[in-house]
Amino acid sequence: MKFGMNSLAWASPFTEPRKWFELAKGYGCDTFEVALEDFQTLDADEIGAAMEATGIEVHTVVGAHGETRDVSSDDPEIRESGIQYIKDMVDFCGRIGADVIAGPAYSAVGKARQQTPEEVARKWDLGVESLKVCADYAGERGVKLALEPLNRFETDFINTVEQGLELIGRIGYGNVGFLLDSFHMNIEENDIPAAIRLAGTKSKIYDFHSCANDRGTPGKDNFDWPAIVAALKDVGYDDYMHIESFTPDCVEIAKAASVWRPFSESPEAIARDGIPFLKSLFN
């Protein structure tokens, strides 16, 4: 298992990769997960140079799926914008050597409302149709899509592993699997280890987000981490474990994710305390 930070805990939008990679390295990180919020602030060559200088690896990126990037929207222009955004992420992965795009790519974060059965069916049809296009484009370029179930307050679409399995099955591409997140599973899954085992035996897990039940530091929470680790080992997952927290400055999703306050004494404390804790679980 390789351990790292998600950039949303420290900076939004992501800039100055050398600065953040050096900080992450100092706290024992192996990897860094970059949020591709705004391509105008991202320089692939600068990220590559920072990786080479620090030894930090970037295998995964995450999307910021706002209202204009909703691939299941009723508005065809918005759907096309969402598809193009995912394609742009795929292309950026090729430029920095990453091979996993993670996040709730099926909808806009914060889109949660009552719907009729007909509206639900149309949402599924549109989301599946759009993600097939994205999966095909990504697969041709060696990139995997890791879809993330979110809690009910952040999406009305995919909340559980079981729903995620249905979505992945309907998309039907071998490069589509899961990003699992301890925060969201704590709200939506009755048994987190069982949900991990279901995801890992029925599909593929490409990424894992670890944070406390309040989105803060792993270990300072109410989770049964040894049981979570046992489930990950049972399904043979040993790729990436990233701490995902948020700075309140994250304009794209702060409101949708209800990020109103800091989650630790400082952003750096999340890595300082969280990375050693996670590593200790796998020793």
Residues 257-272, mean pLDDT to the nearest whole number = 73
Where along the chain do its domains lie? Answer: 2-281
Q: What is the pLDDT of residue 252?
A: 54
Going from the C-alpha of 66 to that of each of 127, 133, 238, 278, the distances in angstroms are 15, 19, 30, 30
- pLDDT, tens digit, 9 for 90 and up, residues 22-48: 999 999 999 999 999 999 999 999 999
122 has a pLDDT exceeding 60: yes
Task: Give me the amino acid identity at 34.
Answer: V
Asked if 32 contacts 21 with a C-beta cutoff of 8 angstroms, the reply is: yes
- pLDDT, tens digit, 9 for 90 and up, residues 124-134: 999 999 999 99
Confidence band of 283 (pLDDT split at 50, 70, 90): confident
Asked if 170 contacts 202 with a C-beta cutoff of 8 angstroms, the reply is: no
Residues 207-232, mean pLDDT to the nearest whole number = 94
**Residue 110: count of CB within 10 angstroms of its CB:** 18
Right CATH number for 2-281 from 3.50.50.60, 2.120.10.30, 3.10.20.90, 3.20.20.150?
3.20.20.150
Q: What is the pLDDT of residue 134?
A: 98
Q: What is the pLDDT of residue 215?
A: 86
Average pLDDT, the chain: 94
68 has a pLDDT exceeding 70: yes
84 has a pLDDT exceeding 80: yes
Confidence band of 17 (pLDDT split at 50, 70, 90): very high
Of the chain, the percentage scoring pLDDT greater than 70 comes to 93
Residues 158-169, mean pLDDT to the nearest whole number = 98
Three-state DSSP at 191 gives coil
Q: What is the pLDDT of residue 230?
A: 98
Residue 273 contacts by C-beta under 8 Å, 6 or more apart in sequence?
217, 219, 220, 264
The candidate with the shortest Cα–Cα distance to 195, out of 159, 219, 167, 157, is 159
Residue showing tokens 């998600």: 6
* 93 alpha carbon, distance to own chain's centre: 15
Residues 110-125, mean pLDDT to the nearest whole number = 96
Q: Which two tokens stand for residue 98?
A: 């990453």
Q: What is the pLDDT of residue 267?
A: 75
Q: What is the pLDDT of residue 268?
A: 85
What's the first-to-final CA gap in the chain, in angstroms? 11
6 has a pLDDT exceeding 80: yes
Residues 66-85, mean pLDDT to the nearest whole number = 97
Residues 153-160, mean pLDDT to the nearest whole number = 96
